Amino acid sequence: MPFLNTSKLVTIERHITEEGALHPSATGEFSRLLRDLTLAIRIVARDVRRSGLNDVLGVTEDVNVHGEMVKRLDIHANEVIIRAMDHGGHLCVMASEENEDLIPIPEPYHNGKYVLVFDPLDGSSNIDVNVSIGTIFSIYQRLDPTSAAPGSLADVLQPGYKQVAAGYAMYGSSTQLVYSSGNGVDIFTFDPTIGEFLLTYEKIKIPKRGKIYSINSGNSYKWEEGLRNYVRHLLSPSDDGTRPFSLRYVGTMVADIHRTLHYGGIFMYPRDTTSPNGKLRLVYEVNPMSFLVEQAGGRATDGERRILDLEPTSLHQRVPCFIGSEEDVLEVERFLREG
Ligand code: P6P
């Protein structure tokens, strides 16, 4: 699987503008929203990279070498995104994994026609061991695009199929931005020497079937029988060589989904006897990832229902998820039905 599948030199700004031209009703407002978001991501990427140096730079407890209070990186990332996005006039409301309640657009800024939901730093428990982490986001149109009133909870709790765009940034060996506005999935890699995200992979397509499964096996004693039977099936060698699967689990959803997009296979965070709805959040983790994987030709369900069809009922609700290659997700659904 090549890292690069395009030789065109296209920045993300130009790509967004060109994609915007595909939507005659686009006013350029959406492009400006994404420009502001990529600025926030660049800042978060810089600070994530520096975080590894904090110990070297002499951060003692909560105060850094400049005498500034050092915040947890996920709280810092949350503040960076909010400050970059709250005054552009594109959004009427935001919601974040870090905020219990909705994030209103402050006076005197204009309430725009879009909604932004995000997980500012997914996998933050992996920061201290330099494992890839990321930012996940979804963008919706508000329910009444003509309104100038503050956005409401109803504007945020929309089913995932109404996303106008979704994506994630992965802060790994390089910073990559994976993004779709409904016209396939494109990958941009940040080039710090020129300060631009450059298109490095166009219209990625997830293989119809993979050979990797991704799940926290430490919870297997709590899984339902159908899931245990599925994993046993994956681990039993087959005559055609399609099995056994390998297990790969980073513990950062962004990294596990990124690998699944490229190599295929299945990422699972199922329900179990102690977590009846699994762990991952529907609104700002599972919906955006499901949108991307479907745009890449894959499948995403809760084991039975299409994730993007689910009607959210609360901001931080959790949902079981099976996301990845279409044939692999269909197969686990069969095992779950059979019990
Ligand atoms: P567990 C990270 O904390 C996270 O929210 C996701 O990024 C990741 O997929 C999951 O939790 C890992 O959870 O229970 O396997 O450690």
Torsion (CA) 314, 318, 324, 328 in degrees, nearest 10: -120
Residue 301 Cβ inside 6 Å of ligand 1? The answer reads no
Using pLDDT thresholds of 50, 70 and 90, give the confidence band for residue 219.
very high
Taking the model in full, what pTM does it have?
0.94
Which CATH number does 212-338 carry? 3.40.190.80
Distance CA 112, CA 42 (A): 23
Residue 297 Cβ inside 6 Å of ligand 1? The answer reads no
- What are the structural domain ranges in the chain? 12-201, 212-338
Structure tokens given for 253: 């959803």
Distance CA 53, CA 60 (A): 12
pLDDT at 126 over 60: yes
64 vs 77, higher pLDDT: 77
pLDDT tens figures, 290-332: 999 999 999 999 999 999 999 999 999 999 999 999 999 999 9
128 vs 212, higher pLDDT: 212
pLDDT at 160 over 60: yes
32 CA to centre of ligand 1 in angstroms: 32
Mean pLDDT of the chain: 91
Nearest CA to ligand 1 atom 5: 123
pLDDT for the residue 58? 44
pLDDT for the residue 1? 47
pLDDT at 20 over 80: no
Using pLDDT thresholds of 50, 70 and 90, give the confidence band for residue 96.
very high
Q: Measuring CA to CA, which residue among 287, 292, 288 is closest to residue 319?
A: 287
* E-only strand ranges, 226-339: 246-247, 266-269, 299-301, 321-324
* Same-fold call for 12-201 versus 212-338: no
Q: State mean pLDDT over 103-124.
A: 95
Q: Does the CA dihedral 117-123-128-131 come out positive or negative?
A: negative
Nearest CA to ligand 1 atom 13: 251
Q: State mean pLDDT over 90-108.
A: 96
Nearest CA to ligand 1 atom 3: 123
The reply to whether omega before 288 is within 30° of 0 (cis) is: no
pLDDT at 248 over 70: yes
Distance CA 284, CA 269 (A): 15
pLDDT tens figures, 265-279: 999 999 999 999 999
pLDDT at 255 over 80: yes
Residue 252 Cβ inside 6 Å of ligand 1? The answer reads yes
Residue 217 Cβ inside 6 Å of ligand 1? The answer reads no
CATH topology of domain 12-201: Fructose-1,6-Bisphosphatase; Chain A, domain 1 (3.30.540)
